[in-house]
């Protein structure tokens, strides 16, 4: 697939998707292939996220959403979970320092109640900074997130104020973690697996899906260019027929 700088520069702004989501798979395998602990793979994946988020901002996207830690990932070893939470703390601290300078808003999606008080406080701080940056590119990090859990929590929130018998699609969307965020135009899964894994189940109804064998720590700007080139060739009809 063509991915030259000239082609990328020639892409009109309206051809850049507003919202790309990524299932960042392959960190552990990347580390194991190199004889490293799985924590090293997560650290490398965190650096890839920083780089790709900046690249998406520079391309003119509005949102990049990544699947960082699922509701099922608590089943992993305490060492691996601890390493992921340590990386989250590091990233949140860096975001507090750099969000305004880099013009990148950070939003954590998911049920943060099981997280430590320190992490929850940092998330509140980044939320406060993000509110001061309207219109900027937003990086959404799904943490302790599951698509089914999100829908259940949204229904419960709605039911606190109105009867479920009156629930509409629009009302449910307004109570999701992603309220106010456009549905993803494109969902990319790295690492060679071909499934959604409980990610953005409500929001992905008409998302284009792209799967790549590239492990997330190896995912480069050229890989994003290839994914976006493939996206531009898709015929998105949303259930209708083009004249």
Residues annotated as catalytic (active site), given as ranges: 25, 73
Local structure of 88: helix, strand or coil: helix
Q: Is 92 helix (H, G, I), strand (E, B) or coil?
A: helix
Extract long-range pairs of 41-50: CB within 8 Å, 24+ residues apart: 41/217, 42/80, 42/83, 42/84, 42/87, 43/83, 43/87, 44/217, 45/216, 45/217, 46/87, 46/90, 46/91, 47/217, 48/24, 48/216, 48/217, 48/218, 48/219, 49/24, 49/139, 50/91
Up-side HSE of residue 79: CA atoms within 13 Å toward CB?
Answer: 5
Determine the Cα–Cα distance for residues 39 and 31; give it in Å rounded to an integer: 8
């Amino acid at each position: 697939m063509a991915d030259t700088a000239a082609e990328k520069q020639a892409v009109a702004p309206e051809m850049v998707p507003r919202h790309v989501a990524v299932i960042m798979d392959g960190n552990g395998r990347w580390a194991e292939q190199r004889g490293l602990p799985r924590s090293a793979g997560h650290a490398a994946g965190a650096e890839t996220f920083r780089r790709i988020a900046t690249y998406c901002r520079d391309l003119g996207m509005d949102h990049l959403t990544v699947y960082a830690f699922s509701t099922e990932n608590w089943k992993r070893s305490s060492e691996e979970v601890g390493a992921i939470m340590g990386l989250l703390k590091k990233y949140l601290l860096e975001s507090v320092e750099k969000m305004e300078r880099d013009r990148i808003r950070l939003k954590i999606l998911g049920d943060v109640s099981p997280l430590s008080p320190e992490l929850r406080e940092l998330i509140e701080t980044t939320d406060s900074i993000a509110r001061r940056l309207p219109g900027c590119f937003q990086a959404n990090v799904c943490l302790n997130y599951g698509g089914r859990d999100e829908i259940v929590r949204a229904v419960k929130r709605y039911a606190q104020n109105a009867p479920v018998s009156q629930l509409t699609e629009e009302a449910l969307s307004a109570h999701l973690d992603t309220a106010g965020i456009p549905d993803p135009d494109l969902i990319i899964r790295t690492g060679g697996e071909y499934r959604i894994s409980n990610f953005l189940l409500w929001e992905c109804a008409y998302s284009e899906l792209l799967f790549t064998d590239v492990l997330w720590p190896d995912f480069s700007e050229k890989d994003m260019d290839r994914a976006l080139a493939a996206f531009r060739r898709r015929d998105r009809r949303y259930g209708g027929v083009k004249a």
